[in-house]
């Protein structure tokens, strides 16, 4: 299971190149920070990894990758549904019985430091709690490749610290983790860094 990028390049129509010549291999057990200024193509590269966009140049190969999870920058949930409901949904979709899905969802929430908000409605959660609920839901879907788009944007420093600690646990779960981020602390938490402001980005 891995993701291989071969001389990847992308631009929209006849517009300027967002990036070119991105070549690297992404493997389980590592976390990769996509760095670079706004407009350098970090979210676009996530979309290419997910298969939502077709590269202008090069190719993305994903041998062994069956499921892709994406945690967006702004956590969006159903306001009146509880935290445990949100995490149980992908478990139910994978065939778990309702009682087992709720138990597993509660265990996942506890793993992400959210045991105290299991039965709280989504609308009552803080920004950091809501983001960690989205992490737990993504893990419940058991993705081989997990994409995180600016997970600490617009969060205070204390909440960002808790989110960055969560990224460590995601990496250790045996899946490929890729994080698009401006946050230097988040970049430090990742084991590799791919800087899209470089002429020929490589992991470092």
The per-residue pLDDT for 117 is: 94
The per-residue pLDDT for 120 is: 96
pLDDT, tens only, 127-169? 888 888 988 898 899 899 999 988 877 677 777 777 777 777 7
Please report the beta strands in 126-196, taking only residues with DSSP state E, as ranges in sequence order.
Answer: 145-149, 176-180, 192-195
Reported as half-sphere exposure (CB side, CA atoms, 13 A), residue 71 has a value of 33
Q: Please give the structure tokens belonging to residue 94.
A: 């994978």
The per-residue pLDDT for 92 is: 95
Q: Rounded to an integer, what distance in angstroms lies between the CA atom of residue 197 and that of residue 24?
A: 16
Q: Rounded to an integer, what distance in angstroms lies between the CA atom of residue 49 and that of residue 85?
A: 28
Q: Rounded to an integer, what distance in angstroms lies between the CA atom of residue 41 and that of residue 37?
A: 9
State the average pLDDT for the chain: 88
Q: Please give the structure tokens belonging to residue 55.
A: 């590269």
The per-residue pLDDT for 6 is: 94
Question: Residue 22: pLDDT above 80?
Answer: yes
The per-residue pLDDT for 201 is: 56
Q: Please give the structure tokens belonging to residue 112.
A: 């992400």
Strand, coil or helix: 163: helix
The per-residue pLDDT for 101 is: 95
Confidence grade of residue 180 (pLDDT, cut at 50, 70, 90): very high
Q: Please give the structure tokens belonging to residue 132.
A: 């960690």
Residue ranges per domain, the chain?
29-52+66-195
CATH class of 29-52+66-195: alpha beta
pLDDT, tens only, 87-119? 999 999 999 999 999 999 999 899 888 899 999
Question: Residue 203: pLDDT above 70?
Answer: no
The reported pTM is 0.84
């Amino acid at each position: 299971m891995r993701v291989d990028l071969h001389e990847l390049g992308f631009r929209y129509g006849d517009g300027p190149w967002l990036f070119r010549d991105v070549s690297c291999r992404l493997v389980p057990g590592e976390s990769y920070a996509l760095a670079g200024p706004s407009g350098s193509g970090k979210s676009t590269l996530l979309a290419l990894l997910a298969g939502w966009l077709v590269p202008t140049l090069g190719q993305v190969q994903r041998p062994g990758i069956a499921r892709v999870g994406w945690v967006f920058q702004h956590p969006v949930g159903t306001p009146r549904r509880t935290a445990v409901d949100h995490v149980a949904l992908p478990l139910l979709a994978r065939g778990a019985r309702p009682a087992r899905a709720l138990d597993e969802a509660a265990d996942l929430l506890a793993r992400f430091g959210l045991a105290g908000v299991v039965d709280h409605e989504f609308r009552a959660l803080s920004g950091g709690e809501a983001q960690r609920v989205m992490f737990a839901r993504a893990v419940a879907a058991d993705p081989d490749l997990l994409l995180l788009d600016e997970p600490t944007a617009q969060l205070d420093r204390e909440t960002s610290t808790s989110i960055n600690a969560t990224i460590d646990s995601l990496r250790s779960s045996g899946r490929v983790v890729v994080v698009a981020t401006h946050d230097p602390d988040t970049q430090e938490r990742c084991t590799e860094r791919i800087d899209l402001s470089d002429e020929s980005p490589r992991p470092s």
